[in-house]
Amino acid sequence: MIEIPHWVQVFVLVGIALVVIVVPIRILYEMTKDTRNRSRRFQELSDRLKERFGAVEAHRTILGMSRITFKHDGRPAAVFQPADDQILIRLEPKVEPKFHVIARSRGALTPPIAVMWDSFRVLSRILTHDPLIDESVALYATPIFGSYLREAALDGIPAEGKPTGIAESLVILSKLPGLRHFELRMSPSGGFRLLLTLRADDMLYRPDELESAVHHAFQLYDLLVLY
């Protein structure tokens, strides 16, 4: 019978222990890496909001999306991060929207209809026939409210000078630095939400751009809901 040296036995046992202990730890580390990164980004976003808004509070949840509540000129709102490259701004006013509207960055393909999934409502695209709006933003609404939306947007496009009102806010939102795409949705059941899809992390580190996005979200709310 061959006697195995003691050091060999110790070496084998240590190797087995490393495999049994270290490998699961490494797997767990990789599995939780995304969670840690999201937590870090969430904290960074909370810190940026504190530079421009009041009453900022972070609400972390185990299930569902964590949110950050804050106030802009005394008006409540909340921010979520649905994905690493997205910021969702939800206004929390007392008066809920009565109509359905979608406004989004115009892409290479712009369908003639859009679906409001929270209420299963199909909306038609509204054309203003002004290139300032139609070439950068796609607007969708019901026929009745669409007429108001079209006229209100056109009223803010002067023959000379800068746009105002709805036109101004839509153009500014579509051209925010670091932004790849924006989508505003309002409905009686879904409230008033602005989703920003980022090209990079710029928005997380630019409180001025965040403040601009929130300001124009509230301005659009006033013009589309409290008109």
Name the β-bridge partners of 196. 87, 182
**Whole-prediction pTM value?**
0.81
pLDDT at 227: 79
pLDDT at 91: 95
Q: What would the mean pLDDT of 81-91 be, rounded to a whole number? A: 89
- Give the tens place of pLDDT for each residue, 178-195: 888 999 999 998 899 999
Rounded Cα gap, residues 129 and 132, in angstroms: 9
Is residue 179 within 8 Å of 198, Cβ to Cβ? yes
- Give the tens place of pLDDT for each residue, 18-71: 666 766 666 665 555 556 677 787 788 888 888 889 899 988 877 678 899 999
191 CA to centre of own chain: 14
- Kindly state the greatest CA–CA separation across the chain: 101
Q: Tell whether the model's pLDDT for residue 8 goes beyond 70.
A: no
Name the β-bridge partners of 122. 115
Name the β-bridge partners of 77. 70, 91
Contacts of 187 (CB under 8 A, 6+ apart): 97, 99, 100, 101, 116, 118, 119, 121
Q: What would the mean pLDDT of 113-123 be, rounded to a whole number? A: 87
3-state secondary structure of 220: helix
The larger pLDDT score, comparing residue 64 to residue 128, is at 128
The structural domains of the chain, with segments of one domain joined by +, span 42-224
